[in-house]
Amino acid sequence: MNIAIVGSGYVGLVTGTCFAEVGHNVICVDNDDAKVAQLKAGKIPIYEPGLEDLIRKNVQLKRLHFTNSIGEGVEKSQVVFIAVPTPPQHDGSVDLSYVETVARQIAEHIKEYRVVVDKSTVPVKTGEKVAETIRRYAKPGVEFDVVSNPEFLREGSAVEDLMKPDRIVFGVNSSKASALMHEVYSPFNAPIMVTDLNSAELIKHASNSFLALKISYINAVAAICEASGADVEKVAAGMGADKRIGRQFLNAGLGYGGSCFPKDISAFIKISEELGYNFQLLKEVEKINADQGERFLKKLRDKLWVLKDKKIGQLGLAFKGNTDDIRMSVGIRIAEQMVKEGASLLAYDPKGMEKCNQLHPDIKTVNSAYEAANGAEALIIATEWVDFKSLDWVKIRESMRTPLIFDGRNLLDPSEMKSLGFEYYSVGR
């Protein structure tokens, strides 16, 4: 099939690449000329495992193309996906201006039947607005359908999530659009769930909010574990063994960050409010998450007393492992707070340092975990990078001024760290 994807961010670029990988002919559209030129030259603006190779392969096979012309995308494609940002506004609501602009631009170029698919995370009822907008700006009589097709990929495992999804959801109002969407997704061999437009949009916000709720729940349980001497890892394992609960997203730690959960939970609270429902439960999820970083810093202060002039190493700046993304990262928030309190902080992240250096020049970075630890009075782990597990911890202990570790992601084994001579603190155990 001929498919256009408007927006070459995380979702758009990975989706376009995976569509090409299964045999579709894909045009990725972006209004950022520099990014398009970069992609055409084979340079990938983000780090995502496996993505670079797939892009290169599909460009060579001439199944993946990049352009800054939305007209070209609409003209050459039966199905046009919208994958542009939907950033948060100050009051928690979603800025839909990029989606609206793209809808108008699509309308200007539609000459014959097209399926316009919204993949951006949007509030319920946005599809209806997109349809109204296209109808208003397109030539009279032009036929089209609007579909909602939420994306469930996670950064850091985006390619795998997209190639082997648990489920594919799309909300449609017409059988013609439904048939074309089945054609787009049949090569993926995954269960397809077809709903109405509004339900598909809600599935996305309800899913992300539920996952965030699981994280805040286990973080609240971790606080009880700390107060009672229980071990949150054992509690999570015991809970997770129940198939109805499941072990995933029960990792206690510093809480959730990133460009999705914080934004989507506030948006869902706001949408609910506008629809007349006070989603108090989600407000508590946000509060627990916001407190998690501060509770962690308190442990550090309890041990070091004042942070001013203390040499502290930090491992991890990205909002999670396997990514260079530092947006809304709890690790960045904690680093900034320590710097504010006068700590002499040296941070290291396998992929997130370039973005950190650009956006947070107050956080000093070094080129290795060993440099961050050298001479430090405490070492903090803020991101769940598996690479940190296999560091030479004996070398680190010997280089630190005091062998004090604060593991904010429960990445290391407490008894092993103790046997290596560390004083080791983690979350909920």
Catalytic residues: 260
Q: Between residues 15 and 67, which has the closer beta carbon with respect to ligand UGA?
A: 15
Q: State the minimum distance, in angstroms, from the CB of residue 409 to ligand UGA.
A: 7
Question: Could you give the 3-state DSSP secondary structure of residue 170?
Answer: strand
| DSSP single-letter state for residue 386 | G
The vertex-46 CA angle with 314 and 330, nearest 5°, equals 30
Cβ at position 228, least distance to ligand UGA in Å:
21
Report the C-alpha gap between 171 and 150 in whole angstroms. Answer: 9
Residue 420: Cβ within 10 Å count:
16
Instruction: Determine the Cα angle at 39 with ends 9 and 162, to 5°.
Output: 45
135 binds ligand UGA (CB under 6 A): no
3-state DSSP helix/strand/coil % of the chain, to nearest 5: 45, 15, 40
Q: Which residues sit opposite 189 in a β-bridge?
A: none
Least Å distance, CB 331 to ligand UGA, is 9
| Cα gap 85→322, rounded to integer Å | 21
Binding of residue 407 to ligand UGA (CB under 6 A): no
Residue reference for tokens 């939305």: 70
Shortest Cβ 82–ligand UGA spacing (Å) = 14
Choose between 153 and 317: whose C-beta lies nearer to ligand UGA. Answer: 153
- Distance CA(187)–CA(383), nearest Å, equals 35
249 is an interface residue for ligand UGA by CB under 6 A: yes
Residue 249 beta carbon to ligand UGA: minimum distance, rounded to whole angstroms: 4
Distance CA 123, CA 273 (A): 12
In the complex, minimum distance from the CB of residue 328 to ligand UGA, in angstroms, rounded to a whole number: 8
Task: Measure Cα distances from 339 to 268, 282, 353, 364, 397 in Å.
Answer: 33, 31, 16, 9, 23
Q: Quick check: 319 binds ligand UGA (CB under 6 A)?
A: yes
Q: Is 18 in the site for ligand UGA (CB under 6 A)?
A: no
- Tell me which of 47, 144, 256, 422 binds ligand UGA, using CB under 6 A: 256
Tokens of 421: 């001579």
One of 8, 251, 374, 410 touching ligand UGA (CB under 6 A): 251
Neighbours of 279 (CB within 10 A): 17
Choose the binding region for ligand UGA from 191-199, 252-260, 304-312, 350-358 (rule: CB under 6 A).
252-260
* Positions 206 through 225 that interact with ligand UGA (CB under 6 A): 208, 211, 215
Residue 101: is it exposed, middle or buried by C-beta count within 10 angstroms (0-12/13-18/19+)? middle
Tell me the CA end-to-end span of the chain in Å, nearest whole number.
52
Q: Is residue 226 a contact point for ligand UGA (CB under 6 A)? A: no
> How many residues bind to ligand UGA according to rule CB under 6 A?
23
Instruction: Verify binding: residue 25, ligand UGA, rule CB under 6 A.
Output: no
How big is the chain by its Cα radius of gyration, in Å?
Answer: 23
| Identity of the residue, 144 or 385, whose beta carbon is nearer to ligand UGA in the bound complex | 385
Q: In terms of CB distance, is 73 or 408 closer to ligand UGA?
A: 408
393 contacts ligand UGA (rule: CB under 6 A): no
Give the sheet arrangement for strand 378-381, strand by strand. Answer: 344-348, 311-315, 378-381, 404-407, 423-425
Of the pair 165, 403, the CB lying nearest ligand UGA is at 165
Structure tokens given for 49: 């495992």
The set of residues, in sequence order, having a beta carbon less than 8 Å from that of 277 and lying 6+ positions away, is none
152 binds ligand UGA (CB under 6 A): yes
Structure tokens at 395: 């070398």
Residue indicated by tokens 């700590």: 343
289 binds ligand UGA (CB under 6 A): no
Please name the residue that has the structure tokens 């013609």: 176
155 binds ligand UGA (CB under 6 A): yes
Least distance (Å) from ligand UGA to the CB of residue 329? 7
Considering only residues 112-131, where is the footprint of ligand UGA by CB under 6 A?
A: 121
Draw the binding track, 334-353, toward ligand UGA (x: CB under 6 A; -: no contact): --------------------
Output the smallest distance, CB 97 to ligand UGA, in A.
19
Residue 84 binds ligand UGA, judged by CB under 6 A: no
Residues in the chain: 429
153 scored as a contact of ligand UGA (CB under 6 A): yes
Q: Is 258 in the site for ligand UGA (CB under 6 A)?
A: yes
Residue 239 contacts ligand UGA per CB under 6 A? no
Interacting residue ranges for ligand UGA, rule: CB under 6 A: 121, 151-155, 208, 211, 215, 249-251, 253, 255-258, 260-261, 264, 319-320, 384
